[in-house]
């Protein structure tokens, strides 16, 4: 396991380097620039701005300079937020996004796995059909529909929950977390149902039942762990996506997370901001996939990392 982890960490370096390289050059070869505006800027002013941010250098020179800054932990200044660096913006937004995304994925795991097991144990019954129908609606209805709907019903009409973000009021977390977790609950429930049905029909579970093991123990001891493997395969990248990509939720509920900074950076051609979030997203993908692969070895005895 140690050598497997070391090998994965070794290959993470060229993977992140490839992500950085592709994102760096794709943004800069696109038409326009970070300081291109509808109102033309005097050439002298534009030249001074480009010189300050080293945009007057060639692309290879900018690329080498950027890599050198990354090695020092410096993601550069933001072109949009003049008084902040990208490190500071990510430091302010990431804890908020991580809090909401972390609670949402835990809620999705708890409810989705439970519903999937329930549907699998009662396959082809009204319970199964109800769970899968609700899950299908959860997958097909996007968050840009559910989030405003929840705001309108529970915030405006019923006035049960606050609208918008409030650091001092924990109830402002309820609607964003629920809206963010609903599609994940639906996806996990469907994955868990299909996996659990397959495991329950496997030979070793039939053998356990034939030896007199109760249905409860057959599920908890022999079925639950291997059935969780497909769910974990999905959870790895899903966690990173929820934490860094919940832009619709953050815009709807006015949450100061990194998702908003990423979209605003893309719209304003804020190169360092977009690159910073891209690097963070790539690093989270690599990290959570590594964690999932390690957990595989504990859930499925057939998995070995020799």
The answer to whether 151 touches 252, Cβ cutoff 8 Å, is yes
CA distance 107 to 93: 21
Instruction: Give the per-residue pLDDT at 116.
Output: 92
The per-residue pLDDT for range 128-163, each reduced to its tens digit, is: 899 888 888 888 888 888 888 888 888 888 888 888
Percent of the chain with pLDDT over 90: 12
The per-residue pLDDT for range 112-121, each reduced to its tens digit, is: 999 999 999 8
155 token code pair:
């915030």
Instruction: Give the per-residue pLDDT at 287.
Output: 86
Could you tell me the residue ranges of all domains in the chain?
86-299
End-to-end CA distance of the chain: 7
The per-residue pLDDT for range 23-59, each reduced to its tens digit, is: 899 888 877 777 766 566 677 777 887 788 788 888 8
Instruction: Give the per-residue pLDDT at 21.
Output: 93
The per-residue pLDDT for range 199-242, each reduced to its tens digit, is: 888 887 777 777 777 777 777 777 888 888 888 888 887 887 78
Instruction: Give the per-residue pLDDT at 140.
Output: 84
pTM: 0.81
- Contacts of residue 205, defined as CB under 8 A and 6 or more positions apart, other chains included, come to 199, 218, 222, 223
Q: Which of 185, 171, 176 is nearest to 106 (CA)?
A: 185
What DSSP character marks residue 85?
B
Instruction: Give the per-residue pLDDT at 215.
Output: 73
Considering the segment(s) 86-299 as one domain, its CATH architecture is: Orthogonal Bundle (1.10)
Instruction: Give the per-residue pLDDT at 305.
Output: 56
Confidence of residue 165 (pLDDT cuts 50, 70, 90): confident
Instruction: Give the per-residue pLDDT at 189.
Output: 92
What DSSP character marks residue 80?
S
Provide the mean pLDDT of the chain.
Answer: 83
Among 22-26, 85-89, 187-191, 266-270, which stretch is predicted with the lowest mean pLDDT?
266-270
Question: Who has greater pLDDT, 165 or 192?
Answer: 192
């Amino acid at each position: 396991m140690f050598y497997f982890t070391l090998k994965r960490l070794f290959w993470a370096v060229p993977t992140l380097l490839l992500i950085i390289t592709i994102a760096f050059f794709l943004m800069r070869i696109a038409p326009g620039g970070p300081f291109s505006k509808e109102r033309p800027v005097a050439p002298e002013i534009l030249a001074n701005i480009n010189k300050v941010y080293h945009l007057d250098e060639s692309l290879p020179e900018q690329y080498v300079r950027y890599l050198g800054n990354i090695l020092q932990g410096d993601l550069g200044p933001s072109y949009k937020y003049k008084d902040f660096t990208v490190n500071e913006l990510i430091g302010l937004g990431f804890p908020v996004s991580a809090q909401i995304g972390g609670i949402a994925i835990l809620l999705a795991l708890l409810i989705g796995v439970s519903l999937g097991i329930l549907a699998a144990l009662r396959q082809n019954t009204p319970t199964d059909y109800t769970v899968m129908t609700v899950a299908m609606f959860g997958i097909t209805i996007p968050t840009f529909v559910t989030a405003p709907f929840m705001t309108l019903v529970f915030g405006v009409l019923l006035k049960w929950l606050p609208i918008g973000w409030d650091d001092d009021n924990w109830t402002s977390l309820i609607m964003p977390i629920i809206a963010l977790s609903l599609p994940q609950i639906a996806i996990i429930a469907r994955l868990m149902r299909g996996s659990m049905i397959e495991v329950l029909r496997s030979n070793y579970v039939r053998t356990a039942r034939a030896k007199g093991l109760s249905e409860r123990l057959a599920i908890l001891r022999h079925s639950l762990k291997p059935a969780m493997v497909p769910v974990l395969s999905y959870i790895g990248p899903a966690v990173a996506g929820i934490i860094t990509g919940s832009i619709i939720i953050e815009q709807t509920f006015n949450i100061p997370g990194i998702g908003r900074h990423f979209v605003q950076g893309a719209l304003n051609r804020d190169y360092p901001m977009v690159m910073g979030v891209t690097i963070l997203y790539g690093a989270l993908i690599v990290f959570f996939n590594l964690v999932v692969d390690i957990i595989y070895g504990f859930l499925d005895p057939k998995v070995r990392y020799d």
